[in-house]
Structure 1
Amino acid sequence: MNAYLFDDRRIDWQILDGFQHLQYFILNIDTDSNIIDVLFKFAAGQQIVLHRHKAPNHIFVVQGEHRIYHADGALKEIRPVGSYTLSPASDEPHREGGGEIDVILLFSIRGGTGVLYEILDDDANPIGSLSITDFVALHKAQSGQTG
């Protein structure tokens, strides 16, 4: 293993049904402050589902290149390893993905009380959403808790 890569072998990556090229691991949820800290892993050379960020996201690139794409799939921006970005809530739909290797990102989702991510079809029509309640349920499932 390359000594310069983040060793994620001990992370119990989770998947969301219907979401290709994306894995996650929720680190912490502070429901009093509405802050969710989660690691996302996007597959190398792939794009995840079209979506909108409906809450502010603080993003740190742990490994690889974080690639941001316009709704039509055209490359918009490349954020290199070590980058830290404050991404406000936005109605602009986009896709994200990894560069030559899987990208690992620390997302700190801040202050959202309703929908945090709006999931869109390829024509930018809403088809789903993720809220803090959804993340709490995913976190319980990830840790083997029921109910």
Structure 2
Amino acid sequence: MAQRYEGRLDSMEYKTLRYPGHADAIRLVRELGLFGLDPVDVKGTKIVPRDAFMAIVGPLLKKDPSTSPDQVALRVEVSGEKDGRDVTLRWDLLDRFDPSTGTTAMMRTTGYSLSTTAIFQATGRVAPGVGTPDEAMPAEPYIQELKKRGIDIRFSEL
């Protein structure tokens, strides 16, 4: 999106929040070479560091969502001029683990979004080919489809 809006925006920020220390932990794993894709020799056997790391750590990261429920919070905020006055437009989404289906918030917000996009493509509601979400997807129909699946995106003008 940065290229798409180059010269039209004063600034653009994207932030992802995880748990405290997340960035340092991931940086350490990377610096240790555990994301490496080039095989290394371990006692005469060639091993890809990333494959070994995922085989060891992957099972430890799987949590029971019913005892460790997640949530997804998303905010899009756009400030500028509209009809000759300064405004800020805001879209907020807050989703949580659904105990009735056992579906995590991350599963819901990514899976429902992708399946909605696939349905729009299959039914001709979006043009074929590759495009960024903001240019390819019609915003309001997309938001309404997500709402049908329990993903509520709230709009406000400040």
The TM-score with structure 2 as length reference comes to: 0.23
Please tell me whether Structure 1 or Structure 2 has the larger radius of gyration of its CA atoms: 2
Structure with more relative contact order (C-alpha pairs < 8 Å, separation 6 or more): 1
Compare the two structures and name the one with the higher helix fraction. Answer: 2
The TM-score with structure 1 as length reference comes to: 0.24
Compare the two structures and name the one with the higher strand fraction. Answer: 1
